[in-house]
Structure 1
Amino acid sequence: MAHPVYQKPFPPSAPPVVGKVTHHSIELSWSREWGEPRTGPPEHWIRYRVEEQDPKTHTYSTIYIGYSRHYIVEGLASSTSYKFRLRVTSPSGQSSLSTPVCVSTAREPISGRNLHQAVNMNDVEELSKILQSGTVDVNVCDKLGFTPLMVAAQKGYARLVHMLVEHGADVRMKNSSGKDSLMLACFAGYVDVVRYLRGFVGGWGGRDGGGCSPLHWAADGGSLQLVTYMIQDGCQLDVRDSSLWTPLMRVCAVSGNAAVASLLIKAGADVNVRDKDGKTPLMVAVLNNHEELVKLLLDGGADYHVKNEFGSGAAEMAKAFGRENILSLLEGRRIL
């Protein structure tokens, strides 16, 4: 038996009313139809169905069905237009369909992701807009623990570095390995960025998690122009990391860059400094088969008689590791 209230023709439905709109959701509501009695079991109530249009096929699919007069559509894309319509069905099976309502989601709010994207793209205009909005923490870290300033510094984006610092970026902030923006710029070899940041940290005394200084990272990076600038600026040459390695030791162990080593040696770097195992730069150069460095160190006064804590010197190491080229060099100098 049909419900008596709905025997007369079913009226056309009004379109859903748009409420709060965000960048990912749209609130929809609708009024009660015909007084909509809510007595008795739900099957005697009016049922509502919200339908969304597919923009490609222009067909509608149901996204909500029930008895509520309120629904929030979530998981939407920002700055996107959507079209919805309401289908109302009476307990007797009669139904009516509203005209569609078109509504667009809001623009996605500015976030740290937008800030990092602008920096990575070297987008001066977009970065300026974001910084001027004042809605994002200028020191927000990305997934790798890098601040926008760190990213700009290691990429050499000098103008962006200036902009970020002027808007409060923390020059002394460090990433998970303890490196700050200055160290990252030193490794990348950007002299203009290094020169600018150096003025805010007050010198070259910073250390990362392994005890490395800016000069350690500059030496690793291999920029002769930068290393020269740092030496001329009074950077300490024989600063040690947690393994007691100086920048010269790291060159001997890591890059083997003879040009950088030559700069350090000529500036007065200690060629006989010893690490925690008693190794000297000469020994490290031999172990890593850096023949050119061996020549430079010997010419710079490296003592080939020195032994490590296990009683081995540079010549013994060359023999043990089969460094034939270095053995020939040592023989030519009558060291063996």
Structure 2
Amino acid sequence: MQYPKTLIRNPNDVTISWENIYGENHNDFKLQIRDEFKQWKTVYRGPKTLTKVDGLAPCTCYQFRLKTDENSEEWLEFKAATEDIGPYTSVIHMTRAVRLGKTSVIRKIAQMRPVLLNAENKENKTPIFQAIETGDLQIIQLLITLGANVNKPQRHTKRTALMFAIYRGELQAATLLMDKGASIYCQDINGLTILHYAVDSNELNNVKFAIDCKVDINMQDNSGWSPLLRAGILQVKPEITELLLSSGADTNIKDSNGFNYQKHLEIAGRVFHRSLKKM
């Protein structure tokens, strides 16, 4: 039996061809990849017999499956692997250089393999995420200057560097990221915004920062939770709730279960203070 071939292998993508496997009677193909949650995800649908699958981790073997049309249940399963990024210019070396603040080493690695500026390490963190952890603004600036993408989300969670910085309270880093083009309107895989992340941090300054960014204070995530609902459910500091309410948070918004802010407080056995209602 013939199987699809990997024509091109790179650290973060593979180009796959299945030409001459099914003959000329088929013009509707569906290609899926098995993700980290063991779920099949469609990466291509159409008439072509070749496609590039990107957003992959380096030096990793992925499981794929292919079929010819929506009515067919006969999947052809096969594997394809991304390329190793090399012994010197590896993610490990970049991670170490960022952690130690070795600017000359970062420059050399980036020059040899620019792809490493946006590659995730084994903790699923790109160099910018790692620099945020150390609070090193100089390294963050250097990475961006060398070509790091400030809006590249984590592969699995779709969390951005700006979300990460605000959650950790690295507000100078967050300001730098926004100055360099980081989007304040991003949402992760669960629909959370930078304001949701600020609420999750349970730190008033982080919430103030996110509100000052002028994001939609009533934006709901995939569960229907607005930042205020999230604050009530997570039982954050009272001053955070007061700030959200005074900034225009709507107490009448309902989540996917039909519960509003007051209902969640009742479920938790707490009192809804009328003085805190939106005027």
Give 1:159's aligned residue.
138
Q: Secondary structure at the match of 1:215?
A: helix
Give 1:139's aligned residue.
118
Q: Does 1:112 align with 2:88?
A: no
Give 2:203's aligned residue.
223
Task: Single out whichever of 196-205 and 179-188 deviates more from structure 2.
Answer: 196-205
Give 2:105's aligned residue.
129
Look at both structures and tell me which one has the larger radius of gyration over its CA atoms: 1
Q: Secondary structure at the match of 1:138?
A: helix
Within 2, Cα distance between the matches of 1:288 and 1:186? 27
Q: Give a deviation string over 1:208-244, Cα, whole Å, max 9, x none.
A: 0001111100111123222212222322110110111
Q: Secondary structure at the match of 1:263?
A: helix
**Alpha carbons 1:189, 1:222 under 8 Å: kept:** no
Q: Secondary structure at the match of 2:209?
A: helix
Q: CA deviation at 1:139?
A: 1.2
Within 2, Cα distance between the matches of 1:214 and 1:112? 27
Unaligned runs of 5+ in 2: 1-86
Amino acid at match of 1:283: K
Q: CA deviation at 1:154?
A: 4.2
Within 2, Cα distance between the matches of 1:116 and 1:149? 10
Q: 1:64-213 to 2 correspondence within 5 Å? A: 109-119=88-98, 121=99, 123-124=100-101, 126-133=102-109, 134-136=111-113, 137-175=116-154, 176-201=156-181, 203-213=183-193
Q: Does 1:259 align with 2:239?
A: yes
Within 1, Cα distance between the matches of 2:108 and 2:235? 42
Within 1, Cα distance between the matches of 2:222 and 2:239? 25
**Alpha carbons 1:110, 1:130 under 8 Å: kept:** no
Q: 1:296-311 to 2 correspondence within 5 Å? A: 296=273, 298-301=274-277
Runs of 4+ aligned residues of structure 1 deviating over 3 Å after TM superposition are 200-203
Q: CA deviation at 1:142?
A: 0.7
Within 1, Cα distance between the matches of 2:228 and 2:104? 41
Q: 1:225-240 to 2 correspondence within 5 Å? A: 225-240=205-220
Q: Give a deviation string over 1:33-74, Cα, whole Å, max 9, x none.
A: xxxxxxxxxxxxxxxxxxxxxxxxxxxxxxxxxxxxxxxxxx
**Alpha carbons 1:216, 1:246 under 8 Å: kept:** yes
TM-score by length of 1: 0.52
TM-score by length of 2: 0.62
Q: Secondary structure at the match of 1:244?
A: coil
Within 2, Cα distance between the matches of 1:200 and 1:281? 36
* Identity across the alignment (%): 23
Q: Secondary structure at the match of 2:223?
A: coil
**Alpha carbons 2:265, 2:272 under 8 Å: kept:** no
Aligned residues: 188
Q: CA deviation at 1:203?
A: 4.2
Q: 1:290-301 to 2 correspondence within 5 Å? A: 291=270, 294-296=271-273, 298-301=274-277
Unaligned runs of 5+ in 1: 1-107, 303-336
